[in-house]
Amino acid sequence: MKQKYRMITTLRQRGHRITPQREMIIQAMMHQRRHLTAEAIFALVRDQSEAINLATVYRTLDFLVREGLINRTDLGDGSFIYTTADHGSHLHLVCSNCQQITEASYEMLASLQHELSCQYGFQAHLHHLAITGLCEHCREEQGVSS
């Protein structure tokens, strides 16, 4: 819960108001400590207040992403998952057939990040990245080789 108070303190120091809705959403994310969709966050907080709706959840998540307090990962199908910024860097391997999500080591991206910087002067933000493809099971099922 210390992280929740740190996030709230950071927002206040930056001159932002902490509405009850913002606090509920932050609390839900801190309590779960895993990747969540906006809909899952809404399901966690909707019983706490009638003053919150899915649009409020989306606006708050966008705000927290802009403030750098949470990360948003595009899963490649138009859906997003959110996690706190302190969750750590990693990859999401998303099967485009069965939608299975596998977390992979971020270290695999270190050389790519370095090459992008050297060749193009581009600083890539690869801390939470989703790569779509076929999982091993679906590849075998479809007869696709490496």
CATH of the domain at 102: 3.30.1490.190
Specify whether the CB–CB gap between 81 and 28 falls below 8 A: no
Cα–Cα distance measured from residue 21 to residue 109, given in angstroms and rounded to the nearest whole number: 36
Query: Quick one: 68 and 94 in the same domain?
Result: no
Q: pTM of the full predicted structure?
A: 0.75
Amino acid at 63: F
**Number of domains into which the chain is organized:** 2
SS3 105: strand
Listed residues 84, 119, 138: the one ending a domain: 84
pLDDT tens per residue, range 5-33: 788 999 999 999 999 999 999 999 888 87
Residue 59 domain boundaries: 1-84
Q: Report the length, in residues, of the chain.
A: 146
